[in-house]
Amino acid sequence: MIGVMNTRLTIWCLLALSVLSGASAQSSSLVIYGLKGPSGVGMIRLFEQPPRYPGVTITVESLAQADLMAARFISGGAKVGILPPNMAAKIASAGTGIQIAAVLGTGMLSLLTSDTAVRRVEDLRGKTVAVAGQGATPEYVFRRILRSKGIKPDTDIGLDFSLAYPEIARSLIAGRIATALIPEPFATIARTGKPDLRQVGDIQAEWIRAGGNGNYPMIALVVDTRFAAKETALLETVLRAFKDSVDWVTANPDQAGLLVEKHGLGIRARDAAAAIPRSNYVFIPAREARPGLEALYKAFLEFSPQAIGSRLPADDFYLSFPY
């Protein structure tokens, strides 16, 4: 009798394990990671309406800083997220399996001034410019432009990296600084608060004249390599959702602004709505974005090679995807 009971118990245990195993195999989850601030604006519709895929629970979460996002990818905890292009390249160069799937944002920098003597980039000699983003794309885009004009950064011109983006905007409005290189939406915030600020030239056009290939990328959609290879159908759903979000945001800036504030990206609805038309949110698949990315990476190699791992990324860094 005891033997029969043990046999029945064993059978029930096996059946239970089988049921649990089946449930585990059929249930899955994916977290899509965004960043607070302007980098997350283009994907804001995903926060409101996460993509749907059979058998997979998809959620969207925003992180406060790109460093936190990098740590998630390095640890294997993130499968899909956004990063500055140089940070993505540096992580990949260290051996972490990540790829760029698309570029979600391109150049959105403005050179603003209240200095009546500054009309062109060349007029910056002897001046000090507050620059947003030390060690990131804004700094090295600006350094390349200055060098193309024969201006030696840190010698002919002072570069001040002491202020965060919001503080640069506030300081321009208050007149504490005269000239700054600043991205959207902070450029729009500054000009709204101080209408007599002038835009000096077109930084995006100056970048092309300085050797850039089209508009420089600023926001990269990054995926875990093994995830991308294994979950192609799921990834295609996610990529379509990103593209649809960018298209919707650019077509509906007022509604998008409301969602930006609702989901806590740190930008007021009215500021986001006003800046979106000037912010160059895009969806460019990696294979098409590669020339622009490599032009940017060459600027990093020129001024700070270690910021991208001291070499251009390999071919497989650019996701080849039938999207």
Q: Which two tokens stand for residue 16?
A: 């239970």
The CATH number, out of the four listed (3.40.50.720, 1.10.1060.10, 3.30.70.520, 3.40.190.10), of the domain defined by the range 109-209: 3.40.190.10
Q: Which of these, 219, 225, 233, 251, lies nearest to 109 by C-alpha position?
A: 219
DSSP E strand boundaries for the chain: 28-35, 56-63, 80-83, 98-106, 109-113, 128-131, 158-160, 179-183, 198-199, 217-224, 281-285
Domains 27-106+215-317 and 109-209 share a fold: yes
Q: Which residues contact 246 (CB under 8 A, 6 or more apart)?
A: 42, 43, 104, 281, 282, 283
Cα torsion at 183, 195, 262, 62 (round to 10°)?
A: 10
In angstroms, rounded to a whole number, what is the distance separating the alpha carbons of residues 62 and 34? 4
Note the pLDDT of residue 52: 97
Q: 157 with 129: CB under 8 angstroms?
A: yes
In angstroms, rounded to a whole number, what is the distance separating the alpha carbons of residues 32 and 34? 7
Note the pLDDT of residue 321: 72
Note the pLDDT of residue 322: 66
Beta pairing, strands 217-224 & 80-83: antiparallel
Q: Which residues pair with 61 in a beta bridge?
A: 33
In angstroms, rounded to a whole number, what is the distance separating the alpha carbons of residues 268 and 310? 38
Note the pLDDT of residue 190: 97
In angstroms, rounded to a whole number, what is the distance separating the alpha carbons of residues 213 and 8? 71
The pTM for the full model equals 0.88
Q: Which of these, 134, 129, 101, lies nearest to 115 by C-alpha position?
A: 129
In angstroms, rounded to a whole number, what is the distance separating the alpha carbons of residues 101 and 119? 39
Largest Cα span, the chain: 100
Note the pLDDT of residue 227: 96
Per-residue tens of pLDDT for the chain, all 323 residues:
334 333 333 333 333 333 333 323 334 999 999 999 999 999 999 999 999 999 999 999 999 999 999 999 999 999 999 999 999 999 999 999 999 999 999 999 999 999 999 999 999 999 999 998 899 999 999 999 999 999 999 999 999 999 999 999 999 999 999 999 999 999 999 999 999 999 999 999 999 999 999 999 999 999 999 999 999 999 999 999 999 999 999 999 999 999 999 999 999 999 999 999 999 999 999 999 999 999 999 999 999 999 999 999 999 999 997 65
Beta pairing, strands 281-285 & 98-106: antiparallel
CATH number of 27-106+215-317: 3.40.190.10
Domain map (residue ranges) of the chain = 27-106+215-317, 109-209
Q: 179 with 130: CB under 8 angstroms?
A: yes
Beta pairing, strands 158-160 & 128-131: parallel
How far is C-alpha 225 from the chain's CA centre? 18
Q: Which two tokens stand for residue 265?
A: 């990206």
What residue type is 11 in one-letter code?
Answer: I
Q: 200 with 113: CB under 8 angstroms?
A: yes
Q: 168 with 138: CB under 8 angstroms?
A: no
In angstroms, rounded to a whole number, what is the distance separating the alpha carbons of residues 186 and 39? 12
